Chains A and B, each alone.
Chain A
Amino acid sequence: MELNSRLPSGPIETAWDRTRFDMKLVNPANKRRHSVIVVGSGLAGGSAAATLGELGYKVSCFCFQDSPRRAHSIAAQGGINAAKNYQNDGDSIYRLFYDTVKGGDFRAREANVYRLAQISVEIIDQCVAQGVPFAREYGGTLTNRSFGGAQVSRTFYARGQTGQQLLLGAYQALERQVENGSVTMYARTEMLDLIVINGRARGVVTRHLVTGEMNVHLADAVLLATGGYGNVFYLSTNAKGSNVTAAWRAHKRGALFANPCYTQIHPTCIPVSGEYQSKLTLMSESLRNDGRIWVPKKKGDKRSPDQIPEDERDYYLERRYPSFGNLVPRDVASRNAKQVCDEGRGVGETGLGVYLDFGAAIQRLGRKTIEERYGNLFDMYERITDEDPYRVPMRIYPAIHYTMGGLWVDYHLMSTIPGLFVLGEANFSDHGANRLGASALMQGLSDGYFVIPYTLGDYLANNKLEPVSVSHPDVRNTVVSAETTLKRLLSVNGRRTVDSFHRQLGKIVWDYCGMSRNAAGLQHAIGEIQSLRQEYWQNVRVPGTGDDFNQSLEKAGRVADFFELAELMCVDALHRNESCGGHFREEYQTPDGEAQRDDENFSYVAAWEYGGAGNPATLVKEPLEFDYVHPSQRSYK
């Protein structure tokens, strides 16, 4: 397969404008004749469904939650970047573009990132007009903070709940269209498969999660905005329901999956406390500004932290990275924490944790200052762990929280299946091998509010779509295949629960395809995943039937897809013989232990084509070219 990314030529500054001008338009009166399916109601899906509804398209929007407002975008804390330069501190569209390409370790497309930086300023305007209560100065203007190591203050925020507020803006715009009748909302409805007719995406098969009813929805185009696949690790900062099913089943219908091995690990999460643990909680990265990270020098030192004298502590980040110290980027901080724990020097009951100590900061600044800066985080920590971080050092450990990989899309956000568009975290397009803080919200809203309304119109205007009906054999076959999968899961009736398999799968992926990877480990993991998957289909127990509210059945289908994705992640990580961003291959590091890119051989997007059950996926490469930001090596010593 040849990939055509439809990247605009010519100067990057005007590329999006020229692309938009060259697009065909759909006449306003004709828009209502076109039906569009949007799967997912987070920042990308919610904003897309609302905007397409405003334009007059006939939109059907689906989410598995009980309300579109519960999509996991709601949990984003820090903020959203925009190149407004309101602070007059030297920011610009070009600088945001530059930072994002570099932060992605030179594995993203320049044209996409430039467009994202351009659109960022419009997003803020739109959200303010919707009533998003961004933080303000006393004079009434918008305020900003610097975030994620950026040298300018370009992050807009609404306390620690920016994702919630942006999502409520999109949700309210969506409900406005529901009231207008232009959007039909299908909550508690999960997409089980994509309907492809004559090579084009023409609909979805869905299951209502309360009644179990299977339905076919047909349309002129399908938009997937179904989020990332972090839950392949079982323990992650994602919501429990977040899953890869819609994207994966589209992959199996012909959409290429790009860079699955690019996953991001966040260094400051509350560590796992026991086997029962269901999810990991993020603590804001800002804590590293004043906290010092350490572990005991001795292996297996079980003394309480106040019993360990200063000279028996290893402040390993300060020791290894004297100039950046505790503020090294996420990937570096995470890898180092794993390393000291692997050496047997981790703390806490499980040995998987490091101390984040505020003792010195409290002595230097006083308790009051620390309270002002981090009071709410300290309270949250205490609520969860029952330890007072003013007296006892916090324990933290890295956790997965974002996936840069996703379905391959061209500049128009269209996948390799014509008529199937992919938005937000579900696509691979803008973050390369590593995402910068406060960029995920920006990308989701950019795709939904400002990119897809144009590119979808161009697709509909350029293609004559013949009418399709539910009696089409391809529709019937897709429904039968979705039903067969459900029946198979219900009929195994083995001895192990879905969660027990998911937990075991997650551990394999975490151990071998997590913070650091090597060829032998990845090969081992592929074998383990395959045999566990085999056991899954012979020994899983899903109680109940498919005709009612059956949460075990929902999970069972999602875990089945995670098995297949996990294998592809390992295959991708194994083939990429370099380290870049969140992908760290132990064999490829600089003499001082940093990620070593191989631009000569790996400066490309790895898009994988599904090979059919039991067959390996085929690699298709999209070469990356850098005309503006020239690849360089990151160093934090």
Chain B
Amino acid sequence: MKLTLKIWRQTSRKESGKFVSYPVEANPDMSVLELLDVLNEQLIEKGEYPVAFEHDCREGICGSCGFMINGLAHGPLPATTVCQLTVRHFKDGEELTLEPWRARPFPVIKDLAVDRRAFDRIIASGGYISVSTGSAPDGNAILVPKEAADRAMDAAACIACGACVAACPNASAALYTGAKITHLGVLPQGSRNVTCEPFAWWPR
């Protein structure tokens, strides 16, 4: 199938960027990232610069990848990162607009890659339980109701890709931070933590 990729090209944070359109021949089984791989191989062979984009595990868990497709974070499929989004979900002849996350806290590094260090700073400022190695009691000495463990896991499954910030009109990290607060706050280990005291009200 034939697609047109309209991609945001920006060489660095200091330069201004622009959209460039590339016609591509796609196989419906490819992921969107594999389509970019194919485009990049062609660009390199033609002596042009490949499109920079973040990726690593390519199975939807590391949180490295992500960009806007036609204005939607990670594209049209719910709970699916761009590395797992296959091309067959688009129509033959369609034009896809790829842009980096649109959020001031995530400045563009190059093309589709952005700087998400803000997320690490949020965790460093209290997104942990203060327990040093060696000082833990036996695992079963801390009983956690199944409902609390399940609820904590729902929140802890966040992959920190940044889509929530990019999708929010205010570019707020409330969902990301809230997920961590929920994860640690619903567990008895977390609600005893000094740094988590504000969340001790959480119903358990």
Q: Which residues of A contact B (CB under 8 A)?
A: 47, 50-51, 54, 65-70, 72, 74-75, 84, 86, 122, 124-131, 133-142, 158-159, 161, 164-165, 168, 171-173, 175-176, 178-179, 185, 187, 210, 237, 239-241, 273-274, 276-279, 281-282, 383-386, 449-450, 453, 495, 497, 499-500, 541, 543-544, 548-549, 551-552
Contact = CB atoms under 8 A, between A and B. Distances in A.
Contacts of B136: 122, 125-126, 128-130
A543 B150 CA distance: 48
Contacts of B52: 549, 551
Contacts of A178: 120, 124
Nearest to B151: A133
B123 A172 contact: yes
Given A278-B58, A551-B50, 9 more contacts: A50-B133, A131-B183, A136-B145, A159-B157, A172-B123, A237-B59, A240-B57, A273-B27, A276-B35
A386 B128 contact: no
The 9 closest A-B pairs by CB, nearest first: A140-B143, A172-B128, A129-B136, A133-B152, A125-B136, A175-B124, A133-B153, A136-B149, A239-B56
A277 B133 CA distance: 41
B190 interface: yes
A497 B47 CA distance: 11
Contacts, number: 218
Interface string B109-122: 11001011101100
A495 B150 CA distance: 53
Nearest to A52: B133
B132 A54 contact: yes
Given A66-B116, A130-B128, A171 B123 contact: yes
A41 to B, nearest CB: 11
Contacts of A161: 61, 157
A130 B139 CA distance: 11
A239 B57 contact: yes
Nearest to A156: B139
Given A74-B62, A75-B57, A75-B61, A69 B127 contact: no
Contacts of B38: 276
Given A278-B34, A541-B44, A172 B64 contact: no
Nearest to B193: A131
Interface bin, chain B: 35 or more
Interface in B63-78: 63-64, 77
Contact of B129 (A129, A136, A158): A129
B86 interface: yes
A497 B62 CA distance: 26
B91 interface: no
29 contacts: A47-B133, A51-B132, A69-B123, A75-B61, A126-B134, A128-B136, A128-B142, A129-B135, A129-B137, A130-B129, A131-B129, A136-B144, A138-B145, A140-B144, A158-B153, A158-B156, A173-B128, A175-B120, A175-B123, A175-B124, A175-B128, A273-B29, A276-B35, A276-B38, A278-B33, A279-B59, A449-B133, A453-B133, A544-B49
A176 B144 CA distance: 24
A237 B57 CA distance: 8
A163 B87 CA distance: 29
Contacts of B47: 543
A125 B124 contact: no
B197 interface: no
Contact of A75 (B35, B62, B80): B62
A172 B196 CA distance: 13
B184 interface: yes
A140 B146 contact: yes
B12 interface: yes
Contacts of B124: 175-176, 178-179
B172 interface: no
